[in-house]
Structure 1
Amino acid sequence: MIRTGNALKEETARLRRVKDLDANSYKKLKTRLPYIVGSDFENGIRKSDFFKACHYVLLDVDHCTLENQTVPAYLAEDSRVLLAFVSPSGEGFKVLFRLESPCLSLLEYKMFYREFAIQFAEKHQLVGSVDLRTCDATRACFLAHDANVYFNPEAKGVCWDTYIEKEEMFEGVATTPAPPVVKPKAVLDEQKYKAVLKEINPKQTVRKADKQIFVPEEILALQSDFERICKENNWELMDLQRINYGQKVMIRQGYKYAEVNVFFGKKGFSIVKSPKTGADAYLSEALFMALEAFLFVPTQTSQGIALNSVLMQN
């Protein structure tokens, strides 16, 4: 399909022409491409709640120079590489590996993915190009035409559990002391507050009440999803604070704290990391990646392709 499929060839060429004209149109058109997923799901529902097992891992290598629109020759020297093809954008490539044994845990997969991706990037001098955010086992990979696709049916399986340490899964959960309990401060009601201000400074004009915060229904509808994502990752959801056009998601894991702002506007969802002092950088990145993987999955207009059938055709 990747090498000889005429329909995919035409779609890929059209997509790359559009990319040079308009970024938003490119993103929408990209979702029409067929895609593959390296995991199995109950009833074929590609969501975390229905995850069964992961059998493949796929790395995204972005924004790198390709000679003659061909994946680098050094990939053939890596006996673990099963499949490699140029990305739909034409500005990077995808690399597929088979796992030696199925990974049955979403959390363990994320831990393995990050370490494996880092080591692969360092080995092939691709640090900064290998995307470390695509660590969700439910994530889909869009296919693209590549006449020079690399395929090695004899590729060695990756022993995924050698890349993680079990102790890391419980870091900061039960071995660290609980943070001190902060008692809530007494709050004056609005009328008493105005009266106090008037007594202190009779000439001062009392500031008008702040405008009400607007939160789109699309954001409010995500509360149960935020709770589920935190539960899946062993995070404590501290608060969902309303902000204009969004919500601040605040989590804690042991003594570590992180927060991320999720917005909804004319162009859809967007995620912004909070620069708040004291937030843990690694936990903030993990929260950002988990929300990104949930909010920006392919739409139903894409066509899912069985991974084995793709491999058989290349």
Structure 2
Amino acid sequence: MPAPHLVAVLIRDGVLPMELGLVHQLFGSARATDGTPLYTVRTCATRPGPVRTDADFPVYAPHGPEILAEARTVLVPASHEQDERLATEPLPADLRAALDTAREAGARLASVCTGAFVLAAYGTLDGRRATTHWLSADRLARAHPRVEVDADVLYVDEGEVLTSAGEAAGIDLCLHLIRRDHGAATAADVARRTVVPPHREGGQAQYIRRPVPEPGTASTAASRAWALDHLADPLTLADLAAQATMSVRTYTRHFRQETGQTPLRWLTQRRLDRARQYLEETDHTIDHIADACGFGTDVSLRHHFHAALGTTPRNYRAAFRG
């Protein structure tokens, strides 16, 4: 049995306890089928010892940056005390040296909330898509014009560099990494243990303040539930709008407000989720899965699968079946 994947959480003064805790909780809950832990989580700082939080208590970092040489994943939580200063100030030398250690070891880097300012100041987001809390997105984009900042999403996966939006989006990011490493079934088990959804719909655009709708305002929720029961059908935007008794234009506007996504993008993601479930849990042929998930042909399934996950359905099944 290979050694558990080491996740190092690199914290700084002003760290948000919630963000530190959710990394430990989610990765610490991931288990193989025989109950063996799949991850080891370690907390570190540029020097070991007490670290201030944004609450009225400190936390203790038992490890220094040397542990980053052993980590396969390094997560940088937010520090509201420090992060936005990095829009105008250089990255501290000790923090840069710590990240150098991680990159030289080949670790993937990930941030939660405004931890993205650290990765941007380090330069690893240049030429890549990234996200951060929607309140800080404009500042990040202005400070780092070479970074393509997307304020609408919960997280962005750029391969070996990942970023996530506000605090709770760290949950979505961690579950995504677990799903990427060990498959949808393992991530779903972690989500069940933690009592969170395995995949939240939409992006953070839905959390930006808007006028509160009046009671009885039309919603797209029922049409989304209906679509999940009819994924095998050749659904159109008009079909979805009809379920909500709205015009296509009105439906699309409401859908974006409620989920942060277009209806067809949401539908494709739900079909991919269903396909991953079939690939992991059944012996159905690729043709059968493509038809059952509404892709129509195995060619279409392969196209969407590769675009979203960077692999083929067959290779995905080989990695995660059982």
Q: TM-score range by the shorter chain?
A: under 0.3
Q: Give 1 or 2: higher strand fraction.
A: 1
In our comparison, the structure showing a higher alpha carbon Rg is 1
Q: TM-score, normalised by structure 1?
A: 0.26
Report which of the two has the higher share of helix: 2
- Which has the higher relative contact order, 1 or 2, with Cα contacts under 8 A spaced 6 or more apart? 1
TM (norm. structure 2) is: 0.26
